[in-house]
Structures are given as C-alpha cells and as structure tokens.
C-alpha cells in the first residue's frame, strides 16, 4: 500500500495482516480522490480541509488527504494492531502535528459531547462490511453536526449491501470498484 499523489507520493505504508481490518486498495482510493477532486458534482477543496477518517484502519485514506494538502486529519480506530500501525504510518510521514488519533469505538466516541469542537469538510466512513448500522452512523454524524454545510461524506461498503440511508443524506454519486461500493453524499439542510 502506498501514497498515490501529493507530497508523499510513492511512500509505502505499513499494513496489518489482521483479518479484522480490510485495507482500502490503492485503485479504489485513487478513484475516490479522482472523483473528489475532479467531479463537477462535488465542490470540495481538499487543500486546507479538515478530515474525519472513521474506522481508519492503518490510515491510508487520511494520510492520502494529508499528502494532498489537507490541513488536519482526525483518525478513529478501535482495532489494537491497526491503531498501532496507524501511529507508525503517521510517524513515518512525520505528520503528527497535523493529526489526532482516537483509539475508540466510533459510536462511543462521537456520543461524547467534547469529542471535537470542529466541523469537517470531508468525512470518510469505512466500517467493516458486516456492520449493518450505517443509517445509525449517518444519524450520529448528522445530529452531532460534524459535517460542514458544504462538506462531503464518503462511505465505503460491499457492493452487495443495500444500505438504508436517511432521507436527509443526498447521494451525489455511487461507484462500484471490484467488491467495493463507494457512496458520495452530503446532508440536506
């Protein structure tokens, strides 16, 4: 696994061999960023953006954001080995000052009132494919007002899943890459 573009382009990242973590393949990540940067349907300025990487694993998505000049990334992961490797990858790229890491369950952390006092420009959600609580996750993000008015949510799921998404999540784009389904959306006001 490597950084695809930006100032850390070509840097190999540490990965876990744990079956509890599903790495985001380079090709899928590259296609996500192509849409985020070049789609006329998405008006995201990745440079100087605040990013929330939920179910971060070893951090490939958030670190790619930093390589492409994102301002700051918050990582949330609760699998011990993946979290350790995430921290190693942050050290390898020397981006500790541009990151905050949380070893916690996503739901438990967001429910804490003082989790973070920021709104994010980009929220990436990559829960395990077996998680069926995606609608609850979207509600949690929405009701805790974590997404900026013009912010984008990217959701990584198995292409076979039929998600029950809340009606205030406007899906902009849905793409299939191998077994991955990527959903891009934003919250209606």
Residue 62's pLDDT is 96
What is the domain extent for residue 137? 26-187
| Averaged pLDDT, groups of 10, the chain, 189 residues long | 92 80 76 89 90 95 96 96 95 97 94 83 90 89 92 93 89 91 92
Say which CATH number the domain at 75 has: 3.40.50.150
- For residue 18, is it within any domain? no
- For residue 105, is it within any domain? yes
- For residue 20, is it within any domain? no
- For residue 14, is it within any domain? no
- For residue 154, is it within any domain? yes
Residue 21's pLDDT is 66
User: Residue 161 and residue 83: Cα distance in Å, rounded?
Assistant: 26
User: Into how many domains does the chain fold?
Assistant: 1
- Comparing CA positions, the residue from 46, 42, 93, 50 lying closest to residue 74 is 50
- For residue 10, is it within any domain? no
Residue 20 token pair: 């509890």
- For residue 120, is it within any domain? yes
- For residue 9, is it within any domain? no
């Amino acid at each position: 696994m490597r950084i695809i573009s930006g100032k850390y382009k070509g840097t190999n990242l540490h990965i876990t061999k744990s079956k509890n973590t599903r790495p985001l393949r380079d090709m899928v990540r590259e296609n996500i960023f192509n849409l985020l940067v070049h789609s006329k349907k998405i008006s995201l300025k990745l440079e100087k953006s605040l990013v929330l990487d939920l179910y971060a694993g070893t951090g490939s998505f958030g670190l790619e954001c930093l390589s492409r000049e994102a301002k700051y990334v918050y990582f949330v992961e609760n699998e011990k080995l993946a979290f350790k490797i995430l921290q190693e990858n942050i050290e390898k790229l020397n981006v500790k000052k541009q990151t905050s890491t949380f070893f916690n369950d996503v739901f438990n952390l967001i429910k804490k009132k003082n989790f973070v006092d920021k709104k994010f420009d980009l929220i990436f959600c990559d829960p395990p494919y077996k998680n069926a609580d995606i609608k609850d996750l979207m509600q949690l993000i929405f009701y805790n007002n974590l997404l900026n008015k013009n912010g984008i949510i990217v959701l990584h799921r198995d292409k076979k899943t039929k998600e029950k998404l809340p009606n205030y999540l406007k899906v902009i784009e849905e793409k299939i890459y191998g077994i991955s389904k990527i959903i891009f959306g934003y919250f209606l006001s």
